[in-house]
Structure 1
């Protein structure tokens, strides 16, 4: 910004320069010498400076609600830890917001697993079918072949029968494609929605998330629904061995490479964690020996109001406009499905205050879901110049200036940073619990991670790791990227289940 003054050497000019720099510290204001001008011009300069300072103050106040203090984050960790305990206890589990669902996965890979397995992966708008070949021994390896099928919106939000018929149609296409339609292979079903399991091959859907609303599914066993759909088609049969959550698949995939991996984290469209818990602490399942993987379903953390003190009015607007208002509040603050929508709500508010887009709320900006989370990752890239940020906004139909681009980048940064910090605080509670379970002063553990937010956002993973280190200083945590936990992991769980079943029979 360039402003004109009459005499740069005058005491008045120097004072004016100091005032402007003090009022607008974030703006690089240069003064040019003017041969003409008057006191009126100087007054106009001061007015502009005050206006800019006022605008900056408004922006800072709006974004301040996304800044979490160390005390806030320690409190989140403490409350998460308490909710983990409530979910494990028989007396409090029915009302717990963090459901702590037993998965009946009681072992991790030991390297002896082998054979051919089918995997299904349902967790978003795409559905995958995979053939997984596992080889054991010194040259152990996992080879995968897969095909991706779209799940149309009308199927996602239609009837349960239509959804599972569509899934079986996709399986039939894949078996035909691979030339294995007659083979009765063991199958692992990655079903990335909250399920209450009675055994490894029985999973009752607690409730849909991530945009799914298919009717007549909640409260039903999804494995039975799959078997019935296969019977209706009457073309092939499959040995459905396990229904698993994507977090469990992620943990198992990384556990195949690193025996220290006993936690699985998903930071993508959804947000969730699983971990190996001592059986003696799981009151809702009989038995005290060994361990079992617990699917925390921590996305529901805060549904009882325990984190309302850090929820903003934008979080509430996003929640109220979602398919499941009042539910999955923590997930709505930390996962890729919702971060872009939080940003859009803030941008609307800033525009209403005349701080963005010349005060004009375009039809594009009014469109729910238009600001996808992938745009946050692109806009926050350190290598992206403001002109490129402006181009992204223009692609979205937003007529922006370079100043607008700066503000939008700040908004994206505030929202994604808070998401990573909250996710890190929750994970710190889990690793601390693992440390106390083992009764050690210092814990070395690996977390298997999957999800586009962790993998593709330029800062999310770093902030999350820093937060875990700060809030769980007695834990040495290694983060390991999962190579296809949803597919490979389901096959490994199926292989481990078959191995343990064989041992039990003998």
Structure 2
């Protein structure tokens, strides 16, 4: 293979270099003998090192200007301790507003009672059917719970896809699809003639009037099925089962995924009184004192409240930290003006924020040689999983370039460094915002109970928390900084919120049996 090397040959001594009659000829001959496989050409530097120094200065100036522009673009994503404290304090105000009777319906943080008042005791037993609908996948499972010395939970499940046309079709089509999946699973398990108690994890905001009654407030996470909002999801499921007319189910509980996650982890750790979802969506639930839930009757005990904190900021509370890129993502979403906090913190939107930033930097000639490819123009093309991959400490820049090439982006090493930085500031802000919100909740629980110091556990589910290399660490650091009087332990939900739905069903059945 022939290569052409063009080294600058600076002539410092005319006598030795340009004036000597044989110097150049001998130099060329020696080089050819030492590297015969290479074709080497020599070029004289006409202007000396001063021109080279000027060129180095020009390149350095261009890179410095580029660096300043990139830093200026990303600066709004870096939140100061003061800004995070403001987010914590504003979240606390909205939590209180959501609990009060007079402001409950108008606040963007819904604070929905779940009617779950008891954590698992460890004495639950039986066989239960559980459904888990929270995104593009729908899981159906049988959960077998044993108590006593042989205490255990065994799960048998199948996962079914929810096609986009079903997600955004009619409500009847959606629930008919769900029932068809249940029928397939019962056939698979040989249980079509067995009527089991059912827990339904429905990971969308519902206004519940009972453990088995919940009217959908609004769709999130890309769902847009018509004729569902305002309707009881349990009734819609029962009607779809009647239309199918192949089996019957005893629907005991409808549960939000945060509540299911909390119950799953509380089965292992009795101190778990908070559930956090940090994945496709973003949400939290926690055990609130009944005396503080003014829209409910009764002052004794506690009830799990589904905060639906994804709507935080829908009234403008986050405008001072919102960037133009957040605005562009919101304007391109199916629910413009809603779920503003979720759009800054959840896996469904972080990749899209990154894409908007990359388009902006490229259009200004700061990335990818100024070429905006057709693929980069495609909404959703930069999936959040790419953030987790690109930010991995084990990933070299060449591997980052390979990921970008999969997206049709021909990048240099400098481009890869900038892309990694963009991903880092977007995911860091998301983790800090979640941490600020969680700090408001744990400190509220501490004050509720009149404690100087609180030890509490948070049960967590979601791919962003589990798979992103830095998200969980940043979230924990933020909670510790903003709620210094609380020791917060985080445990992962290994079996998801579906197991929690079965446990809630088991607890409800135990109460009915008087156990």
User: Shorter-chain TM-score: what band?
Assistant: over 0.9
Residue of structure 1 in register with 2:85 after alignment: 74
Which of 428, 444, 466 is the aligned partner of 1:433? 444
Which of 55, 76, 83 is the aligned partner of 1:65? 76
Q: Structure 1 residues 4, 411: CA separation in 2 closer, same or farther (over 3 Å shift)?
A: farther
Residue of structure 2 in register with 1:379 after alignment: 390
The Cα shift of 1:4 comes to: 8.2
Taking the aligned partners of 1:362 and 1:293, their CA distance within structure 2 comes to: 48
Residue of structure 1 in register with 2:405 after alignment: 394
> Secondary structure of the residue that 1:93 maps to in structure 2?
coil
User: Bigger radius of gyration, 1 or 2?
Assistant: 2
User: Mapping of 1:200-219 within 5 angstroms?
Assistant: 200-219=211-230
Taking the aligned partners of 2:188 and 2:323, their CA distance within structure 1 comes to: 49
Give the structure-2-normalised TM-score.
0.91
The answer as to 2:298 corresponding to 1:287 is: yes
- Structure 1 window deviating more from structure 2 (191-200 vs 42-51): it is 42-51
Residue of structure 2 in register with 1:497 after alignment: 508
The Cα shift of 1:45 comes to: 2.2
Taking the aligned partners of 2:155 and 2:140, their CA distance within structure 1 comes to: 10
Which of 96, 105, 111 is the aligned partner of 1:94? 105
Taking the aligned partners of 1:354 and 1:475, their CA distance within structure 2 comes to: 47
Taking the aligned partners of 2:255 and 2:296, their CA distance within structure 1 comes to: 17
The Cα shift of 1:402 comes to: 1.1
The Cα shift of 1:6 comes to: 7.4
Residue of structure 1 in register with 2:331 after alignment: 320
The Cα shift of 1:318 comes to: 0.1
1:252/1:485 contact within 8 Å kept? no
Taking the aligned partners of 1:150 and 1:158, their CA distance within structure 2 comes to: 15
User: Mapping of 1:128-139 within 5 angstroms?
Assistant: 128-139=139-150
Taking the aligned partners of 1:4 and 1:119, their CA distance within structure 2 comes to: 73
Taking the aligned partners of 2:510 and 2:302, their CA distance within structure 1 comes to: 17
> Secondary structure of the residue that 1:50 maps to in structure 2?
helix
The answer as to 2:314 corresponding to 1:297 is: no
Root-mean-square deviation (Å): 1.7
2:11/2:48 contact within 8 Å kept? no
Unaligned runs of 5+ in 1: 9-33
Q: Structure 1 residues 359, 221: CA separation in 2 closer, same or farther (over 3 Å shift)?
A: same
Aligned length: 478
1:348/1:361 contact within 8 Å kept? yes
Taking the aligned partners of 2:434 and 2:511, their CA distance within structure 1 comes to: 34
Residue of structure 1 in register with 2:353 after alignment: 342
1:5/1:42 contact within 8 Å kept? no
Residue of structure 2 in register with 1:12 after alignment: none
User: Mapping of 1:75-474 within 5 angstroms?
Assistant: 75-474=86-485
Give the structure-1-normalised TM-score.
0.93
For residues 466-506 of structure 1, what are the alpha-carbon distances to aligned partners after superposition, in whole Å with 9 as ceiling and x for unaligned? 00011001001000001223211000000011112333xx9
Taking the aligned partners of 2:512 and 2:11, their CA distance within structure 1 comes to: 89
Unaligned runs of 5+ in 2: 1-6, 13-44
> Secondary structure of the residue that 1:62 maps to in structure 2?
helix
The Cα shift of 1:35 comes to: 9.3
User: Mapping of 1:31-46 within 5 angstroms?
Assistant: 37=48, 39-46=50-57
Taking the aligned partners of 2:169 and 2:216, their CA distance within structure 1 comes to: 16
1:390/1:402 contact within 8 Å kept? yes
For residues 174-198 of structure 1, what are the alpha-carbon distances to aligned partners after superposition, in whole Å with 9 as ceiling and x for unaligned? 0000001011100000000000000
User: Mapping of 1:43-62 within 5 angstroms?
Assistant: 43-62=54-73
> Secondary structure of the residue that 1:193 maps to in structure 2?
coil
- Deviating beyond 6 angstroms after TM superposition, the runs of 4 or more aligned structure 1 residues are 3-8
1:158/1:213 contact within 8 Å kept? yes
